[in-house]
Amino acid sequence: MSRIPPRLKPTNRHLTIVPHFQEKKTESGVLLPEDYKPEQDRYIEATVVDVSDDCSKQFESLRYGTINERKVVVDASMIEEVNVSDRRVYIVLENHVVGIYRRTDEV
C-alpha cells in the first residue's frame, strides 16, 4: 500500500510556491571564494502550489487553476525555505507577490 506524504498547508496569509530560480553561469574560468554568492534577480517567477485560506480573494483562483494559470512574480529576497522532516518547501507572504499572470481576456 502506497502512502502519500503529507504536504504543508500554508497559513497566516502565506502561499506555498515552487520558485523558478535561474543560475547565472560564467565560463571565464575565474576562481571565486567558496562563500561567494552570485547576484540574483530581485523578482522571479514562481508557481503557486497552495494558498492560505485567509489570503485575499485575488489569490483564490490560484488554488484551482492549471499549472500555467498559477504563475506569479515574487520578491526573491522574501522567499522562505522551510526544511522539515527531510522535505524542502518554499513559502512567501501574500504581500510579497508583486503580480499574477492573467490571460488577456481576464480582468
Q: For residues 80 and 23, what is the distance between their CA atoms, to the nearest angstrom?
A: 18
Calculate mean pLDDT across residues 21-46.
73
Q: Which DSSP state fits 55?
A: S
- What is the identity of the amino acid at 56? S
Q: pTM of this prediction?
A: 0.76
What pLDDT, on the 0 to 100 scale, is given for residue 41? 83
- Is the pLDDT reported for residue 25 higher than 60? no
Per the structure block, which three cell numbers stand in for 11? 497559513
Which of 27-31, 38-42, 80-84, 90-94 comes out lowest in average pLDDT?
27-31
Contact indicator for 55, 80 with CB cutoff of 8 Å: no
Closest CA to 20 of 38, 4, 43: 43
Instruction: Report CA 49 to chain centroid distance, whole Å.
Output: 8
